[in-house]
Amino acid sequence: MVRELVDIVPTGRLAVIESSGHMPNLDRPELFNDTLRRFLTAVG
């Protein structure tokens, strides 16, 4: 389902945070924040 949403949302991106569970912002905060920052910069 996520891949389908990425395909239909104009600025959609899929980022997989390895070695994290359902809460990547808590499991891998530095990687999550870096990924989010890059996304926001790209679509900003």
**Domain residues of the chain, as ranges?**
2-43
Q: What is the pLDDT of residue 44?
A: 87
User: Element (H or E) spanning 34, and its range?
Assistant: helix 29-43
The predicted structure's pLDDT at residue 7: 94
Check residue 23 and give its pLDDT: 97
Whole-angstrom Cα distance, residue 33 to residue 30?
A: 5
pTM, entire model = 0.81
pLDDT tens for the 44 residues of the chain, in order: 899 999 999 999 999 999 999 999 999 999 999 999 999 999 98
